């Protein structure tokens, strides 16, 4: 039997470690969506998490697990997304520096958000090689610890606490659906949910325009994502070296949805639930409303993670 | 001592009557808004109420209080706003007809919403006289009971349950702020909050472009609103014959805010709390963030009602 980067005890430890620091987010329901889905849906509102996304769980777990000596030197990551904000805030809450490498092309609003949480930005060229070079230079210079956005045991364990809480609030779930990009949330939730309730089914929700996890599951081997094309801009990356084995063995299936389905689900959530979810955050709801998912037997009570709510609202009618 | 249309026992009865039919909405907080306001704010999320607004409380109380013989003949109202949807759903939940008079100029989306909840629409000319004529004709023809949007004891009592719940969840509030249009919510909450906690202060929040309640309080007599001009389209009406005396005697003060302040508050709530509030629903938050309110002594823990979240999202980027 293979060993995995993350197991239930690691998630339970993470839950203890981050208690009182991260929000225990509410679980919400909506009769209209239930009617459309033909299932009873329970939405775990990580869009209401601090920094507006579940990423704060993993970042907090990783930052809090550092020894005082390690922590004093700070943390580093390269990200232009929710993980950058999450790590910046988690570091500030521990009173340590966060060095965030961002491509110079990143939108001003994202840089401002990271700086708003106290992160120190280092700009790099917009490619993976230069991002890694800049991050490694920062590590060498400061002695800070690199905390990657998903492929790290403490990050995966932290994200898994989402499923722990969901099952505490709704113990009789038949299935859990989470979005999958790098796979930190999905892998952590799979480990937590199956650890707590062996019979539960765990599904990934993936945009068709970045469907490496679905293709990997079909092929039985990890395939990488090239040229992703979807509005779900938090789900562009491939699964990781640590997340893929868990997804391969402990996730039942990956469902894919089109951008139109994501937009329609997002609109339903905004209109009927009055909750702002970002496109990546609505992919689980889009799956639940899809005909493929409805055709599934035995999934009557389904937990769905709204993974984030960080949408640029500049273009609305203020 | 004058007698008022509504008192605490009526609100307590309403709470019993509507329990399990209306949502007990959550109270949410936001560190960012607290920091900007310089107070601890507790938001009662009636935007998450059924039909997306507090109006479902009053409508349900009124509909449930009818005798079976009265109820069988149905209910009537004239409204193009949230009360129309609320009454339609409250009637459907009791299994009785709802006849809704709407101006023929009302947006198709609002008619569709009422019909979606099973309401039967009668169109009229877009003026008060024809609205009342049409409503009275329906009453004469069907024997249905007229349930006005705010100036009715059962409606006021039902809306007051909002403050009861808020104080149950956060007993040590110093003050409560609710939007004021016709005044059903404000009057009901004033009666409930002061009844429960005599020392609490109750404030109205009103758009400057429809500030009849503020001017009435200043003048010591009821002044009517003419030519209102504000984005807060749920707050255009004058206070009523039943709501005004309560507002006059049991509300401490009405604060006014500009449309720019309402828009800014609304944007903050969308961005930071990830909650969709409509302009009328954000007026309480706008007041809490205003300098006049910050200058108030002794209001450190403030309950604010997000009264609704029904925004037409057609023009967004779906």
Consecutive 10-residue averages of pLDDT for chain B (318 residues): 91 98 97 95 98 97 98 94 96 98 89 94 92 95 97 98 98 98 98 97 98 98 95 95 98 98 96 96 98 91 97 74
* Within a domain: A224: yes
Find the CB nearest A270 among B48, B263, B313: B313
Domain co-membership, A110 together with A190: no
Q: Indicate which CATH number applies to the domain containing B173.
A: 3.40.50.1100
A271 part of a folded domain: yes
Instruction: Please give the Cα distance from B62 to B107 (Å, whole number).
Output: 26
| Count of all residues that appear for chain A in the document | 318
Please answer yes or no on whether A317 and B317 come within 8 Å at the CB atom: no
Same domain, B128 and B160: no
- Domain end point (choices A87, A120, A146): A146
Output helix, strand, coil percentages for chain B, rounded to the nearest 5.
50, 15, 35
Predicted pLDDT at A298: 86
Indicate yes or no: CB of A48 within 8 angstroms of CB of B26. no
| Residue in chain A nearest B277 by alpha carbon | A274
pLDDT value of position A107: 86
Residues A263 and A128 in one domain: no
For residue A161, is it within any domain?
A: yes
Give catalytic residues of B, as residue numbers: 55, 80
Domain boundary pick from B86, B117, B146: B146
A15 with A131, same domain: the answer is no
**Interface contact A275-B270, CB threshold 8 A:** no
Same domain assignment for residues B293 and B215? yes
Query: Given B26, B48, B270, which is nearest A276 (Cβ)?
Result: B270
- How many whole angstroms separate alpha carbon B173 and alpha carbon B164? 12
Q: Match 């040229």 to its residue by tokens.
A: A227
The pLDDT tens digits for A165-185 are: 999 999 999 999 999 999 999
**Is residue B3 in a domain?**
no
Decide if the complex's ipTM is over 0.90: yes
Residue A81 located in a structural domain: yes
Give A45-66 pLDDT, tens digit per residue.
Answer: 999 999 999 999 999 999 999 9
Statement to judge: residues B235 and B103 lie in one domain: no
> Any CB–CB contact under 8 A between B317 and chain A?
yes
What residues of chain B, 263 to 302, have a C-beta less than 8 Å from chain A?
263-264, 266-267, 270-271, 273-277
- The answer to whether B258 touches B210, Cβ cutoff 8 Å, is no
Measured in residues, chain B has a length of 318
For an interface test with B, which of A21, A274, A313 has the most B Cβ atoms less than 10 Å from its Cβ? A274
The answer on A282 and A186 residing in a single domain is yes
**H-helix segments, B220-271:** 243-250, 259-268
Shared domain check, B216 and B281:
yes
Among residues A98, A127, A146, the one where a domain terminates is A146
Q: How far is A314 from chain B (nearest CA, A)?
A: 9
B132 occurs within a structural domain: yes
DSSP state of B275: B
Pair (A131, A216) in one structural domain: no
Residue A19 lies in a domain: yes
Whether residue A313 and residue B270 make contact (CB cut-off 8 A), yes or no, is yes
- For residue B303, what are the contacts with CB-CB under 8 A and spacing of at least 6? B27, B41, B42, B43, B44, B163, B166, B167, B170, B173, B175, B176, B177
Q: Are residues B159 and B290 in the same domain?
A: yes
User: Rounded to the nearest 10 degrees, what angle do helices B243-250 and B184-196 cross at?
Assistant: 50
The predicted pLDDT at position A318 comes to 55
**∠ at Cα A120 (A116, A124), nearest 5°?**
115
- Which residue of A lies nearest to B25 if distances are taken between CA atoms? A28
pTM of the model: 0.94
On whether the CB atoms of residues B36 and B268 are closer than 8 A, the answer is: yes
Number of domains forming the structure of chain B: 2
Instruction: Select the residue of A267, A271, A313 nearest B271 (Cβ to Cβ).
Output: A313
Residues B36 and B109 in one domain: no
| Residue B287 structural domain | 8-52+152-305
Q: What is the spatial distance between Cα B6 and Cα B28, in angstroms, rounded to a whole number?
A: 28
Residue B207 lies in a domain: yes
**Do residue A223 and residue A211 come from a single domain?**
yes
The confidence band for A109, taking pLDDT boundaries of 50, 70 and 90, is confident
Q: Is residue B313 less than 8 Å (CB to CB) from chain A?
A: yes
What is the pLDDT, as a whole number, of residue B8? 98
- H runs (alpha helix) in chain A: 8-18, 31-37, 55-65, 68-72, 82-94, 108-116, 128-142, 153-169, 184-196, 212-219, 243-250, 259-268, 283-288, 291-294
Task: Classify residue B199 by burial, with Cβ atoms within 10 Å: 0-12, 13-18, 19+.
Answer: exposed
């Amino acid at each position: 039997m293979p060993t995995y980067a993350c197991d239930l005890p690691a998630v339970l430890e993470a839950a203890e470690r981050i208690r009182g620091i991260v929000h225990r987010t509410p679980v919400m329901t909506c009769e209209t969506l239930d009617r459309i889905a033909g299932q009873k849906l329970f939405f775990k509102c990580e869009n209401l998490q601090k920094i507006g996304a579940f990423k704060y769980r993993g970042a907090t777990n990783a930052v809090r697990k550092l020894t005082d000596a390690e922590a004093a030197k700070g943390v580093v990551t390269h990200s232009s997304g929710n993980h950058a904000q999450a790590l910046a805030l988690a570091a500030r809450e521990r009173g340590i520096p966060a060095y965030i490498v961002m491509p110079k092309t990143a939108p001003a609003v994202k840089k401002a958000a990271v700086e708003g949480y106290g992160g120190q930005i280092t700009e790099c060229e917009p490619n993976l090689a230069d991002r890694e070079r800049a991050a490694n230079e920062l590590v060498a210079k400061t002695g800070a610890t690199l905390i990657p956005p998903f492929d790290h045991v403490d990050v995966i364990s932290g994200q898994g606490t989402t499923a722990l809480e969901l099952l505490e609030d709704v113990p009789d779930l038949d299935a859990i659906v989470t979005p999958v990009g790098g796979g930190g949330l999905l892998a952590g939730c799979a480990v937590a949910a199956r650890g707590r309730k062996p019979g539960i089914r765990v599904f990934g929700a993936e945009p068709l325009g970045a469907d490496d996890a679905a293709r990997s599951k079909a092929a039985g081997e990890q395939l990488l994502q090239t040229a992703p094309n979807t509005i779900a801009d938090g789900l562009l990356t491939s699964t990781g070296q640590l997340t893929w084995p868990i997804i391969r063995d402990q996730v039942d299936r990956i469902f894919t949805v089109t951008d139109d389905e994501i937009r329609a689900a997002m609109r339903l959530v905004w209109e009927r639930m009055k909750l702002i979810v970002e496109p990546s955050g609505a992919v689980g709801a889009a799956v639940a409303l899809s005909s493929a998912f409805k055709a599934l037997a035995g999934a009557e009570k389904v937990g769905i993670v709204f993974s984030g709510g960080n949408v640029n609202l500049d273009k609305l009618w203020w």
